[in-house]
């Protein structure tokens, strides 16, 4: 599974402050620590309070790349902030994200074509996040079709069914898990799938437990990537164990260490 580290996000108080005050070392440590813990890609989000998302994105991308050679997942609702980052990335990037709205897809898929990136497609549109798995699948198919119209490769799209907090949307966990299964039937080879894992536990009491339980279930349903906190060691141990049981790594008594040493 592809692990995308979620921690460079201005939503976190300390990170928001580090962005405002241009504290390079805070961001660079977060980048290095997440990579050391197993992240292949780093999510980069200037956060909801950024006064100048374009400048903040530029600074974040430069700061991270000075300390790490991980790939970046540029996470913003603002296409101009995403493009500012795309101008600077040294490795192939992921755009996070487009919705299933035609106007948004046109803008984001044009950027993806121009800068040769992968794209996360959220199965939501102007009427919001659907309640049902069926509507999620319908929007997922629309995203894949539109990406192909733009000349993109279907396997460069990551479909995101959008995880909601279990404490306020309890019916949605199962709908998301079933959607992950059903997205795989849209094309052959099956499209990639992704979730923002920590959404599921927002506002709950046992966050880490809820996160790792949900992740293991999603992995069993064929999830290809997740945005998560790789510094949560129990979460990573659960993920490695789930992949072992699904026969994705060779068993040995020290399989956790063996996985980490790869
Ligand atoms: N899909 C896609 N991208 C995403 C998400 C998604 N990007 C953002 C988000 N969801 C995934 N990243 C996070 C990062 C942090 C948290 C949740 C998801 C989080 N933050 C603490 C909170 O809100 O309680 C911050 C608290 C603090 O200040 O420390 O939980 O779904 N494609």
Report yes or no on whether pTM surpasses 0.85: yes
**Average pLDDT of every residue of the chain:** 97
- The string of pLDDT tens digits covering residues 24-67 is 999 999 999 999 999 999 999 999 999 999 999 999 999 999 99
CA of 60 to the centre of ligand 1 (A): 17
> Distances in Å between the alpha carbon of 112 and those of 75, 98, 108, 119, 243?
14, 11, 6, 7, 31
- The string of pLDDT tens digits covering residues 138-189 is 999 999 999 999 999 999 999 999 999 999 999 999 999 999 999 999 998 8
- The string of pLDDT tens digits covering residues 180-226 is 999 999 998 899 999 999 999 999 999 999 999 999 999 999 999 99
Residue nearest ligand 1's atom 4 by CA: 196
Instruction: Check residue 262 and give its pLDDT.
Output: 82
Residues with CB under 6 A from ligand 1: 6, 9, 11-13, 75, 96-97, 120, 160, 162-163, 196, 198-199, 202, 227
Domains of the chain, each with CATH number or no CATH: 2-261 (3.20.20.20)
Is the pLDDT at 248 greater than 90, yes or no?
yes
* pLDDT band per the 50, 70, 90 thresholds, residue 19: very high
CA of 207 to the centre of ligand 1 (A): 12
DSSP string, 194-252: EEEGGGGGTT-SSHHHHHHHHHHHHHHTT--EEEE-TT-HHHHHHHHHHHHHTTSS---
Q: Is the peptide bond before 23 cis (omega within 30 degrees of 0)?
A: no
Distance CA 122, CA 146 (A): 13
């Amino acid at each position: 599974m592809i692990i995308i580290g979620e921690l460079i996000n201005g939503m976190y108080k300390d990170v928001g402050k580090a962005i405002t005050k241009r504290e390079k070392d805070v961001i660079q440590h977060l980048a290095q620590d997440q990579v050391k813990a197993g992240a292949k890609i780093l999510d980069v989000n200037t956060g909801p309070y950024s006064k100048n998302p374009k400048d903040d994105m530029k600074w974040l991308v430069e700061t991270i790349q000075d300390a790490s050679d991980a790939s970046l997942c540029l996470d913003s609702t603002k296409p101009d902030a995403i493009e500012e980052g795309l101008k600077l990335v040294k490795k192939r990037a992921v755009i996070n994200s487009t919705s299933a709205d035609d106007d948004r897809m046109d803008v984001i898929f044009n950027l993806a074509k121009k800068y040769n990136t992968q794209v996360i497609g959220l199965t939501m549109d102007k009427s919001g996040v659907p309640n049902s798995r069926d509507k999620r699948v319908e929007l997922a198919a629309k995203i894949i079709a539109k990406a192909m119209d733009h000349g993109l490769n279907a396997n460069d799209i990551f479909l995101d069914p959008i995880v909601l907090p279990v404490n306020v949307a309890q019916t949605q966990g199962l709908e998301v898990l079933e959607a992950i299964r059903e997205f795989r039937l849209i094309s052959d080879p099956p499209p990639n799938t992704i979730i923002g894992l920590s959404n599921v536990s927002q506002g709950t009491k046992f966050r880490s437990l809820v996160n790792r339980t949900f992740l293991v279930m999603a992995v069993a349903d064929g999830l290809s990537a997740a945005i998560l906190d790789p510094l949560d060691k129990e979460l990573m141990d659960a993920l490695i164990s789930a992949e072992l049981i699904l026969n994705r790594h060779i068993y040995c008594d020290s399989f956790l260490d063996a996985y980490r040493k790869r």
